[in-house]
Amino acid sequence: MNRLSQRPLAVGPLRAFEAVARLLSFRAAAQELFLTQSAVSRQIRALEEELGAPLFARGTRHVELTAAGVTLQRGVLPLLDRLDSTVRQIRLARGRRQVNISTFASFASMWLLPRLEAFQRAQPDIDIRISATDHLVDLDDPELDLILRYTLPGNVPAEAQRLFGEVLTPVVNTGLWTQSRQGQAPALATPADLARHTLLEEDDPRASINYSSWRHWLRQHGQPRLEPARWIYLNFTYQQVQAALAGQGVALARLALVLEALERGELVEPFGAAARVSSPYAYWLIPSRAAQARPELAQLQEWLLAQAAVSRRALGEE
């Protein structure tokens, strides 16, 4: 293998290639890049000579990618996205202090955001950027500083710090609970009474549903064959809890995420603390491998761990 075949490609021609490949027009690419059309054409020709293969089939009125062009486009897109992300991170570091967090939507809306206002009052010069997604993110993502993840202990790296464990408990809104006690709604005194109520189930394809489903809870409480009056299936935890708050049924809630609603009396555990079940899953704080050591990151991490300690005590872990 000669040195020419090992030489890395220059970024400039790759930018021109990406624009032409996306727009399928040399003229439009030139306008987007603030270059002349001839300059873009020269960069593409130089790139083709470097690779030894044509990247575009040029017609009189249209441009198409060749097989080599399609292959190069697949490799160039993630490369340029990663480069742009890194550049944005560097530019942000020169301005206001910012910490980027990735977590899943229900945890962000039900645990993180209600607490975050206190941190922002104490640290008004630190901006927080939250990316909420239910997909596992790359721990090497240069745009992330902290990752809050829900998973099994064996799925986290050595540097992960446990926030708190998973406990599940049936909950209903106060109105439905009061009506059931006064005889205005079906009784809700024992697990068997759930046969006359609507159960709000999280429709989750992940393996954790084996522990967070109503079927698992019912088996644990001697009702493996119980069928409720009806089921309502919801995609996300926060939707399940919102439906319970609206009086639409009984939710099997993640206790750490509804502690405040229970304290405020918005939700009630109809069978008490004895009906709670634990799961091997837990919530974790994971520093991104690409994160730089910064005072604002250390401050937020320390604050998150302190908030998690409060939740652990409420869950009876401390």
pTM for the structure as a whole: 0.68
Same domain, 153 and 290: yes
* N residues, the chain: 318
Same domain, 152 and 186: no
Same domain, 147 and 47: no
Q: Considering the chain, what is the average pLDDT of its residues?
A: 88
Domain stop point among 93, 115, 136: 93
In tens, the pLDDT along 70-91 reads 999 888 888 888 887 777 766 6
Contact present, 232 and 248 (Cβ < 8 Å):
yes
In tens, the pLDDT along 152-200 reads 999 998 999 999 999 999 999 999 999 999 999 999 999 999 999 999 9
In tens, the pLDDT along 201-259 reads 988 777 778 889 999 999 999 999 999 999 999 988 999 999 999 999 999 999 999 99
Residue 318 lies in a domain: no
Q: What percent of the chain has pLDDT over 70?
A: 92
Same domain, 172 and 35: no
Structural domain range at position 72 = 3-93
Q: Is the pLDDT of residue 318 over 50?
A: yes
Pairing mode, strands 146-151 and 126-132: unpaired
Pairing mode, strands 146-151 and 277-287: antiparallel
| Identity of the residue numbered 121 | R
Same domain, 173 and 275: yes
Contact present, 43 and 13 (Cβ < 8 Å):
yes
Residue 317 lies in a domain: no
Highest mean pLDDT among 8-12, 131-135, 269-273: 269-273
Same domain, 155 and 177: no
Cα torsion for 146, 150, 154, 157, to the nearest 10°? 0
Q: Which residues of 78-102 are buried (b: 16+ CB within 10 A; e: fewer)?
A: eeeeeeeeeeebeeeeeeebbbbbb
